[in-house]
Structure 1
Amino acid sequence: MADLQSTNRVALAKVRETTFGVTPTSPAFKAIRQTSSGLNANPKTVITSEIRSDRQVTDLILVGEDAGGPVGGELAFSVADDDLEEALQGTWSNSPSITVAVADTEISDVTTTTITVSAGGTAFVAGMLTLTQALPTAANNKLARVNSSTATSIVYPAATFSADAVIPVGASVRQVGFQGASADIAAVTSGGNGLTSTVLDFTTLGMVPGEWIKVGDGDTTNCSFATAADNGFCRISLVAAHKITFDRVPTGWVADAGTGKTISIFTGDFLTNGSTKRSNTIERQYLDHSPVTYEYMRGMTLNTLQVEAKQQAIATYTKNYIGRDAVLPSPMVRVSGATDVAAPTYGVLNTSSNVGRIGFDGSTITGPNFVMSAQFTINNNIRAQQAIGSIGAVGTGNGEFTVTGQLETYFGDPTIYQKVINNTLTSFDLRVGRSDGNRESLLVDFPSIKLSSGSPAVSGKNQDVMIQAGFQAIMDATRLYTVSVGRFWYLPIV
């Protein structure tokens, strides 16, 4: 007897569509890590109105179909990159990187000073910090500072690497920050908190206003400011050739000349909300069936994305799609030319050791208003567009981009409650990431929010008084966006 279908044997994958509702030719399906999938097709049927003398119904007529639904997952670095891009309808601005797809091709050689590449070398400019990974010699996988570059070479100081002649698939070089020469970078307060340089040109390093950066590398000798308060996360408000101005700095920021220091700064990829709507074909495989059953949900446009972090739990997210239709191929075979792209393998993030910061009004929330839970929902208010001549939707329409959320905190003092009462403009940011390996992290920033609800809740005896503060994110008047996401591929421990 054939096995019945188990939920553990249902595979989910997706591919971006070029044309709404049309699966690309020879699609490369990216595997989706999931905890649940409620995707479904809902046929719309109508009973015939024909009157018969024998009182019987002769037909149930299919007149339309709605398709879509939720997919749940656990948050891990890189697994939600496409989902964030689709939810924000923006486009990732990526730091320079080269990854080997064909062995010994994109990167073909490593000498003691030079990484030889097939193209793209000039994107790596002097002063950049790069992270090399998956090179054959283990000691070659590390941080290093770029000296110079050409289209086909990235050049480093003498004796940076050992020779690697054959470079495998998956090996990579990626910018993760930059480093000044000795005493070139200083922390300043005059003219606004920021960093200044004498030689290094900050405008060549890919930074933009609104982006967060990490100042200092306490893991490496002389790569942090002597003033501890000047080493931490800062948000950029302006980038000039020899000054980066910040509108958010760690508490206690002061001037520090950086004497004798080669200050390291860590940067990442950057995403803000826009209006570029994207659709997908989602493939669901029922692997216990023989032959395998394939189901294709076409035109799947991400409508909402909710991220939730509760105390002592796994950080989770749920995405909800609205699309065109669902089809089962006949005969039951996979779409022609389909290939598979494995999902990222980074570990899931918890809310105990993987939350680096919950920021409110520019400062990290610690005590006395300790956070019990935080969640936010991005809603594109997508609508399915129906028309005569089509069972499924002919398209999806964009609506207003809205972001709401909630912070549940202990009622340690009245500062949060006061902002609710006074309709005070404030901000909220959340950084989650690995505490091991390269400390890969995501930083979500809502630069302008107003608290829309919340008052102290007295629920009975022997309980802590809590406040659940709902918020509405609004367009920041300076940056002209509502939400940004930073993606850090490397962060120091200190």
Structure 2
Amino acid sequence: MADLQSTNRVALARCRETTFGVTPANPVFKAIRQTQSGLNANPKTKVTSEIRGDRQVTDLILVGQDANGNIGGELAFQVADDDLEEALQGTWSNSPSIINTGAGTPISALSATTATVTTPLGSQFVAGMLVLTGGFTASANDGLLIGVSSSTATTVVFPASTFTVDAAPVAGAFLRQVGFVGAATDIAAVTSGGNALTSTTLDFTTLGIQVGEWVKVGDGDHAGCSFATAADNGYCRVSVVAAHRLSFDRVPTGWVADAGTGVTLRCFTGDFLTNGSTKRPNTIERQYLDHSPVTYEYLRGMTLNTLQIDGKQQDIATYTKTYMGRDAYLPSPMVRISGATDVAAPTYGVLNTSSNVGRIGFDGSTITGPNFVLSTSIVINNNLRSQSAIGSVGAVGTGNGEFNVTGRLETYFGDPSVYQKVINNTLTSYDLRVGRADGNRESLLIDLPSIKMSGGAPSVSGKNQDVTLPGAFQAIMDAVKGYTMSVGRFWYLPIV
């Protein structure tokens, strides 16, 4: 007897469409890591209204079809990158990187000081960028944090005797910008005219830094790479980028002036995403691997409508995404689409809410005692609507709606500071940083620069219980930055 189909043997993958509801030729399917899926093809039928003398129904007529449903997953670095881009309908602004797809391509050689690359890739790097290396044959060339000295279209030049010579770097070798670095004593922390970093030589406008982006100031893992003033080494949010002044509207508590004497300051930046209005439909492939032969189902035009991120105490960080689409396509026989190829899912480990949460920020400060956080959630809703038309069984498109971000923040009621913002309708902010506690400490930083608490009151649930404050909030467009939500993606962060 044939095996029945097990849920453990259902695989999901997706391919972005150029045209709504049309699977690209020779599609490249990215595997989806999942905990559950409720994707559905929904035929719409009507019973014929014909009247017969024998009182019988003669037909059930297919008049339409749509596809929708949800996919659940556990949050991990890179796993939700496409989902975040689709939920925010923005586009990732990526820091410069070069990754070998094969031996010697596009990094063809490595001398003691210079990476030779395919034109024009070298020109994306500029002096002062801080670069992380990895994937090279010689272990001495991996895990280096080094500042760029200069570049051309075909070279990226670093300080003397940086590398072990490699005549043909292997597939997977990479150079990636993860921040910037100043010469000794070049960068200072200032408070005059507002909180900022200033420089004498380094030009901040050349480094790809954007307004609203968060920057980790200081590298406490390496001597001489952070400010002597401990309070100045932390996360700052950029408000203005000028040639020799990087201004901040959020800084660590206790920020003061520090001349940076003798310090070769390192600061860490990442890729950056803000909300926009670009819809990105997908074809989602569902594989039933217990069938012999394997059968395939395709749901087309699947456009991400909502994305919810949840964190509960001593648990795994999770997310759920819901789609609205065009229709389902079942090949006959149910074989795979011709020319399809695969990309494996990212392999970073699942993030927990205990050791993988670097910060939950409220009103610009980290939430600690006495208002410790019990749970948090963020819900992004694009308010899509399905568009039907005569001449099409499936939807002809999805209409964009309002970009709406809401959330919940449940804390212990240790003091009335959060509650006061509920009662007074105070404009405040919320940010969340989650990431690995090992390796390169890859992390995501979600920022809602303007929120108002939409509800919440102290909860007294009975005897021998802690009083909690289950607060709800509404994100609104930040009047200065012009967006509602941003996400930063850090490929490297120091421990301190």
TM-score of the aligned structures, taking structure 1 as reference length:
0.99
1:29 has 2:34 as partner: no
The number of residue pairs the alignment matches comes to: 494
1-structure distance, mates of 2:321, 2:139: 38
Verify the 8 A CA contact 2:126 2:151 in the aligned structure 1: yes
* 1:54 Cα offset (Å): 1.7
1:85 has 2:85 as partner: yes
Determine helix, strand or coil for the equivalent of 1:129: strand
Equivalent position amino acid for 1:58 in 2? T
What runs of 5+ residues in structure 2 fail to find an aligned partner?
none
Equivalent in 400, 415, 419 of residue 398 of structure 1: 400
2-structure distance, mates of 1:477, 1:410: 31
Question: What's the counterpart of residue 133 of structure 2?
Answer: 132
Question: What's the counterpart of residue 379 of structure 1?
Answer: 381
Question: What's the counterpart of residue 245 of structure 1?
Answer: 247
2-structure distance, mates of 1:383, 1:393: 10
Question: What's the counterpart of residue 122 of structure 1?
Answer: 123
Equivalent position amino acid for 2:349 in 1? G
Question: What's the counterpart of residue 218 of structure 1?
Answer: 220
Question: What's the counterpart of residue 308 of structure 1?
Answer: 310
1:341 has 2:339 as partner: no
Determine helix, strand or coil for the equivalent of 2:419: helix
* 1:270 Cα offset (Å): 0.3
For residues 70-111 of structure 1, give each alpha carbon's deviation from its aligned partner in whole angstroms, at most 9, with x where no partner exists: 000000000111100000000000000111113211111111
Verify the 8 A CA contact 2:297 2:334 in the aligned structure 1: no
2-structure distance, mates of 1:365, 1:164: 48
Equivalent in 275, 278, 293 of residue 276 of structure 1: 278
Verify the 8 A CA contact 2:12 2:284 in the aligned structure 1: yes
4+ residue runs over 3 A deviation: none
2-structure distance, mates of 1:169, 1:272: 32
1:64 has 2:89 as partner: no
For residues 36-72 of structure 1, give each alpha carbon's deviation from its aligned partner in whole angstroms, at most 9, with x where no partner exists: 1111111111111111122211111111112110000
Determine helix, strand or coil for the equivalent of 2:101: coil
1:475 has 2:473 as partner: no
Determine helix, strand or coil for the equivalent of 1:46: strand
Equivalent position amino acid for 1:229 in 2? A
Determine helix, strand or coil for the equivalent of 1:456: coil
RMSD between superposed Cα atoms in Å: 0.7
Question: What's the counterpart of residue 417 of structure 2?
Answer: 415
2-structure distance, mates of 1:239, 1:414: 36
Determine helix, strand or coil for the equivalent of 1:457: coil
Question: What's the counterpart of residue 17 of structure 1?
Answer: 17
2-structure distance, mates of 1:81, 1:171: 22
Determine helix, strand or coil for the equivalent of 1:84: helix
Equivalent position amino acid for 2:416 in 1? P
Identity of aligned residues (%): 77
For residues 273-295 of structure 1, give each alpha carbon's deviation from its aligned partner in whole angstroms, at most 9, with x where no partner exists: 00011100000100110111100
* 1:138 Cα offset (Å): 1.1
1-structure distance, mates of 2:169, 2:15: 29
Equivalent in 356, 359, 364 of residue 358 of structure 2: 356
Equivalent position amino acid for 1:125 in 2? V
* 1:133 Cα offset (Å): 1.3
Question: What's the counterpart of residue 456 of structure 2?
Answer: 454
1:120-269 superposed matches below 5 A: 120-141=121-142, 142-269=144-271
Equivalent in 375, 387, 390 of residue 388 of structure 1: 390
2-structure distance, mates of 1:131, 1:335: 39
Verify the 8 A CA contact 2:220 2:226 in the aligned structure 1: yes
Equivalent position amino acid for 1:5 in 2? Q
1-structure distance, mates of 2:250, 2:395: 45
Question: What's the counterpart of residue 99 of structure 1?
Answer: 99
2-structure distance, mates of 1:299, 1:103: 37
1-structure distance, mates of 2:70, 2:161: 52
For residues 297-326 of structure 1, give each alpha carbon's deviation from its aligned partner in whole angstroms, at most 9, with x where no partner exists: 000000000000100000000000000001
2-structure distance, mates of 1:368, 1:53: 77
1-structure distance, mates of 2:29, 2:116: 31
Question: What's the counterpart of residue 329 of structure 2?
Answer: 327
2-structure distance, mates of 1:126, 1:413: 48
Question: What's the counterpart of residue 4 of structure 1?
Answer: 4
Verify the 8 A CA contact 2:204 2:244 in the aligned structure 1: yes
Determine helix, strand or coil for the equivalent of 1:61: strand
* 1:401 Cα offset (Å): 0.4
Determine helix, strand or coil for the equivalent of 2:273: strand
2-structure distance, mates of 1:371, 1:23: 44
Question: What's the counterpart of residue 108 of structure 2?
Answer: 108
1-structure distance, mates of 2:167, 2:22: 43
2-structure distance, mates of 1:170, 1:387: 48
TM-score of the aligned structures, taking structure 2 as reference length:
0.99
Question: What's the counterpart of residue 442 of structure 1?
Answer: 444
1-structure distance, mates of 2:360, 2:73: 21
